[in-house]
Amino acid sequence: MGRNQDIPKAVIKRLSLYSRVLQNLEIKNVQKVSSKELGELLGVNSAQVRKDLAYFGQFGVPGFGYYVSELRSKIKKILRTDRPLKIGLIGVGNLGSALLSYTGFKKQGFHIIAAFDNDKRKIGKKHSDIIIQDIANLEKTIKEKGIEIIILTVPVEKAQEITNNVIDTGITTILNFVPIRLIVPDYVRVHYVDLSIEIESLSYYVK
């Protein structure tokens, strides 16, 4: 793919934050933005903004800034969110169910197209337009549907075993909601969703 894997994870993370901030500016009909303004919206300095974007080529006009829509569509192209992502989810418990019906994903154009569980009472039932499949069909379904990202919402004690199975199917990108570190080969990218980080920073503002 010619994608440079040496770009720091935090830069990629900020790209998705830039994208969100730019989306909000678009909604407000703002046409252009400077690196200083972008930095202020994200809480980093303008040099960091320019440095982040410089990883991916020449953006913006010195002394003028960036065109909001142009920058956003370029960032979407870099992140490859300019096309529908094929997402599967494993573990249709409370959190899994919540994510299947999470309107925040649909708002961004992300659709979960397959869900798996090992509970016979859940398998075959419909949930948010998806029929829950037996996890025994994992490999077959991932290949048939061309699934690219797996969301993991399984119990802690099952997470590593299921991760191994996921990797065996050829999946290399996992979004892990289970609060444990997974052991994976170097070529597999796991993002951890740590819901307590948000509470931690909110704590600062408690009066």
Residues lying near its own copies in the complex (CB under 8 A): 1, 3, 5, 8-17, 19-20, 40, 42-45, 48, 51, 78-81, 85, 87, 93-95, 97-99, 101-105, 107-108, 110, 148-149, 151, 156, 172-173, 175, 179, 189, 191, 193-207
Closest CA relative to residue 115, chosen from 161, 27, 202, 98: 98
CB nearer to its own copies: give 63 or 94. Answer: 94
Surface-to-core class of residue 194, CB atoms within 10 Å of its CB (0-12 exposed, 13-18 middle, 19+ buried): exposed
Q: Quick one: 130 or 175, whose CB is closer to its own copies?
A: 175
Q: How far is the CB of 151 from its own copies (least distance, A)?
A: 8
Q: Tell me the C-alpha distance between 11 and 184, whole Å.
A: 22
Closest to its own copies by CB, 58 vs 200, is 200
- Angle of CA points 129, 176, 88, to nearest 5°: 30
As measured in angstroms, the least distance from the Cβ of 88 to its own copies is 12
Q: Least separation, in Å, of the C-beta of 177 and its own copies?
A: 9
Q: Which is nearer to its own copies, 32 or 127 (CB)?
A: 127
Q: Which of 48, 71, 123 is nearest to 92 (CA)?
A: 123
Partners of residue 87 on adjacent β-strands: 112, 149
SS3 172: coil
Min separation Cβ 173 and its own copies, Å: 5
Partners of 189 in the beta sheet? 173
Minimum distance from CB of 99 to its own copies (Å)? 7
> What contacts 3, CB < 8 A, 6 or more positions away?
none
For every residue of 67-129, DSSP letters joined together read EHHHHHHHHHHHHT-SS--EEEEE--SHHHHHHHT-HHHHHTT-EEEEEEES-TTTTT-EETT
Least Å distance between CB 155 and its own copies?
10
| Of residues 67 and 110, the one with the C-beta less far from its own copies | 110
Residue 63 or 83: the one with the smaller Cβ distance to its own copies is 83
